[in-house]
């Protein structure tokens, strides 16, 4: 018993620092490793993203209890959240806000009756491919989707249609519609439902570090520190 107490006393500063780090990570700023390609081409497998946990809510540490609101998600934000379906931690793009009416027609979004503008990204399908995970690659059509203050790239996969139509859907108070940028390879609100505000974790800001985890595990130094918004 004395040895245990001596060990605690000897390491009290280390334990205090680790506790403080844990509280900061759960309440202020966080990092999120990305294991899937649902946000291609903007976020890749092996990216580790910095998340601002104070962007939307102040929460009681280690819980989903919201103490106060600090800001509202905006269309085009990349947000991390807990899935309303199974509690998994996900990262997607905010598309539908409370009060919006959202629909998708042949993969193209319509927000509050206005069709979203799509512009060619300048990358040809011959130069843009998506690994299917089954030993073959699919051509990907990349476009710039203009919604909110920050246009961004999305991609559609050739020969695949993953829920290309839905709605019109009215978004209730304190609910958000999330979509992955890799529209034909993303388990998002089309499948898991709308995301309640209290399940939001924070706003993804930039890529901290990155490694090619689906290839040779080499660092991708060109992605270190890259902003997720243009």
In whole angstroms, give the CA distance from residue 69 to residue 28. 13
Half-sphere exposure of 126 (CA within 13 A, CB side): 0
| pLDDT score recorded for residue 17 | 47
Instruction: Supply the pTM of this predicted model.
Output: 0.84
**Lookup result for tokens 């962007």:** 55
Strand partners, 55: none
| pLDDT score recorded for residue 20 | 45
| pLDDT score recorded for residue 8 | 47
| pLDDT score recorded for residue 102 | 98
Query: By three-state DSSP, how is residue 21 classified?
Result: helix
Q: Report, as ranges of residue numbers, the positions in the chain whose pLDDT lies below 50.
A: 1, 8, 14-24, 27, 126
55-58 contacts at long range (C-beta below 8 A, 24 or more positions apart): 55/202, 55/203, 56/197, 56/200, 56/202, 56/203, 57/197, 57/198, 57/200, 58/27
24-60, pLDDT tens digit by residue? 455 455 888 999 999 999 999 999 999 999 999 988 8
| pLDDT score recorded for residue 50 | 94
Domains of the chain are: 2-101+167-223 (2.10.109.10)
Q: How far apart are the first and last CA of the chain?
A: 57
| pLDDT score recorded for residue 54 | 92
């Amino acid at each position: 018993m004395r040895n245990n107490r001596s060990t605690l006393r000897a390491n009290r500063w280390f334990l205090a620092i680790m506790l403080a780090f844990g509280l900061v990570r759960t309440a202020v700023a966080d990092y999120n490793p990305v294991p899937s390609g649902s946000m291609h081409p903007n976020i890749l497998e092996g990216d580790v993203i910095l998340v601002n946990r104070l962007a939307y809510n102040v929460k009681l540490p280690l819980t989903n209890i919201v103490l106060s609101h600090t800001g509202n998600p905006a269309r085009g934000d990349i947000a991390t959240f807990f899935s309303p379906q199974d509690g998994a931690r996900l990262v997607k793009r905010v598309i539908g806000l409370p009060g919006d009416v959202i629909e998708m027609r042949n993969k193209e979004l319509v927000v509050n009756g206005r069709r979203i503008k799509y512009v060619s990204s300048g990358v040809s399908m011959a130069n843009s491919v998506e690994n299917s995970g089954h030993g073959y690659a699919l051509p990907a059509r990349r476009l710039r989707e203009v919604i909110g203050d920050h246009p961004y790239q999305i991609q559609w996969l050739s020969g695949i249609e993953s829920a290309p139509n839905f709605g019109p859907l009215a978004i209730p108070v304190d609910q958000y519609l999330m979509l992955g940028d890799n529209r034909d390879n993303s388990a998002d609100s089309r499948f898991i439902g709308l995301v309640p505000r209290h399940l939001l974790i924070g706003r993804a800001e930039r890529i901290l570090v990155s490694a090619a985890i689906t290839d040779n595990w080499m660092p991708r130094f060109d992605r270190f520190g890259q902003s997720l918004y243009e």
